[in-house]
């Protein structure tokens, strides 16, 4: 599981800071999360292949999380994309994108699917054989979702020595990997535990931005491997955080602690502060494993 932060600053694109966008690579899938202005250039700078993006998740319809989407969709057209593209985001996102494509008399040569979200409860919005994605309803000034990406249980690992010893036919390997016991020709039942090893543990990633401090999300992200939680302000501006429905670094760390996640990645910093290290220092007073997000940073969670 690998996370690339294309942009993790609040509000407005600047010369060296970019609005929210990130790429999660998990089980050979590449998910784009949010798409602020300049995302396509950040993808290029970070040498991420446009063609590997098939699913885009948009948390909410504030510009710093989605003004780069229409341009990316247009660039996919110019690149002669053929593969389906799926966009998951709040109701309205389809109207916004299609209106602009219509006025520019541009039509995608690929199928563009919008999955519009309106539920205030967590729901499964993507699922294939390896990954499942659920919404994390957040509290912000407009309708907003975080996203929880969970690996599905991996196959058990074949105990090669054991299956050879019992002379088990290869046809049964799949059954063993999925946890089944094997009955030999002589009627003897070999329990799965003798024929396989536990799979690698599954990983999960929770993206939570933008949101006011909200303990209601804790059960949804309990024990996640990695939590990205916005920290627009420091605790000294807790009043501004509350007023604008954002969080402080301390609040982000508190959520991480309550949810017992392994690592907390901070981001969505206001540019009012002299140094983003201040966010890390504040969060570390509450939670031990704080990773300081920054544009272009790559976190490898293998």
Q: Does the annotation flag 65 for ligand binding?
A: yes
Q: Does the annotation flag 55 for ligand binding?
A: no
Q: Does the annotation flag 169 for ligand binding?
A: no
Nearer CB in complex with a copy of itself: 105/188: 105
> Closest Cα to residue 268, out of 4, 6, 9?
9
Beta bridge partner(s), residue 56: 32, 87
- The span from the CA of 269 to the CA of 287, in Å, is 18
Q: Does the annotation flag 268 for ligand binding?
A: yes
- The span from the CA of 29 to the CA of 39, in Å, is 19
Nearer CB in complex with a copy of itself: 44/157: 44
Q: Does the annotation flag 64 for ligand binding?
A: yes
CB of 104 to a copy of itself, least distance (A): 5
CB of 75 to a copy of itself, least distance (A): 5
**Binding residues for a copy of itself, per CB under 8 A?**
11-15, 37-38, 40-41, 44-45, 61-63, 67-68, 70-71, 74-75, 78, 90, 92, 95-96, 99-100, 103-106, 141-142
Ramachandran category for residue 181: left, alpha or beta (phi over 0 → left; psi -120 to 50 → alpha): beta
Q: Does the annotation flag 229 for ligand binding?
A: no
Output the DSSP codes for 241-291. HHHHT--BHHHHHHHHHHTT-SEEEEE-B-TTSS-THHHHHHHHTT-S-EE
> Closest Cα to residue 286, out of 239, 237, 230, 248?
248
Point out the catalytic residue in the list 34, 64, 225, 295: 64
For residues 103-137, b (16+ Cβ closer than 10 Å) or e, as one string?
Answer: eeeeeeebebebeebeeeebeebbeeeebbbbbbb
CB of 87 to a copy of itself, least distance (A): 14
The tokens for 282 are 């504040």
Q: Does the annotation flag 84 for ligand binding?
A: no
> Closest Cα to residue 113, out of 54, 26, 69?
54
CB of 159 to a copy of itself, least distance (A): 49
The tokens for 216 are 């209601």
Nearer CB in complex with a copy of itself: 105/223: 105
Nearer CB in complex with a copy of itself: 77/218: 77
**Do the beta carbons of residue 84 and residue 54 sit within 8 Å?**
yes
Nearer CB in complex with a copy of itself: 15/186: 15
Beta bridge partner(s), residue 138: 144
64 is catalytic: yes
CB of 284 to a copy of itself, least distance (A): 30
**Do the beta carbons of residue 280 and residue 248 sit within 8 Å?**
no
Unique residue bearing structure tokens 């690339």:
4
Annotated binding residues: 60, 62, 64-65, 140, 210, 268
Annotated binding residues for Zn(2+): 60, 62, 64-65, 140, 210, 268
Give catalytic residues, as residue numbers.
Answer: 64
């Amino acid at each position: 599981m690998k996370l690339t932060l294309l942009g993790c600053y609040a509000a407005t694109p600047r010369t060296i800071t970019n609005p929210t966008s990130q790429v999660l690579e998990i089980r050979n899938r590449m998910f784009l999360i949010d798409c602020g202005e300049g995302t396509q250039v950040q993808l290029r700078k970070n040498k991420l292949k446009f063609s590997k993006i098939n699913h885009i998740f948009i948390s909410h319809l504030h510009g710093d999380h989605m003004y780069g989407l229409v341009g990316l969709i247009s660039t996919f057209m110019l690149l002669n994309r053929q593969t389906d593209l799926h966009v998951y985001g709040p109701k309205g996102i389809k109207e916004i994108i299609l209106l602009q494509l219509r006025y520019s008399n541009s039509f995608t040569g690929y199928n563009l699917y919008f999955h519009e979200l309106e539920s205030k409860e967590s729901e499964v919005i993507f699922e294939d054989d390896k990954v499942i994605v659920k919404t994390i309803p957040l509290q912000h000034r407009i309708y907003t979702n975080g996203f929880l990406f969970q690996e599905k249980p991996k196959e058990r690992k074949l105990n090669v020595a054991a299956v050879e010893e019992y002379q088990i036919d290869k046809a049964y390997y799949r059954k063993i990997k999925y946890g089944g016991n094997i009955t030999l020709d002589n009627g003897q039942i070999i329990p799965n535990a003798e024929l396989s090893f536990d799979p690698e543990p599954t990983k999960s990633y929770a993206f939570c931005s933008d949101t006011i401090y909200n303990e209601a999300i804790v059960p949804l992200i309990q024990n996640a491997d990695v939590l990205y939680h916005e920290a627009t302000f420091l605790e000294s501006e807790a009043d501004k955080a509350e007023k604008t429905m954002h969080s402080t670094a301390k609040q982000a760390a508190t959520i991480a602690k309550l949810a017992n996640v392994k690592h907390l990645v901070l981001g969505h910093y206001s540019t009012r502060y002299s140094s983003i290290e201040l966010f890390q220092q504040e969060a570390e007073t509450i939670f031990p494993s704080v990773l300081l997000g920054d544009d272009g940073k790559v976190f490898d969670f293998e």
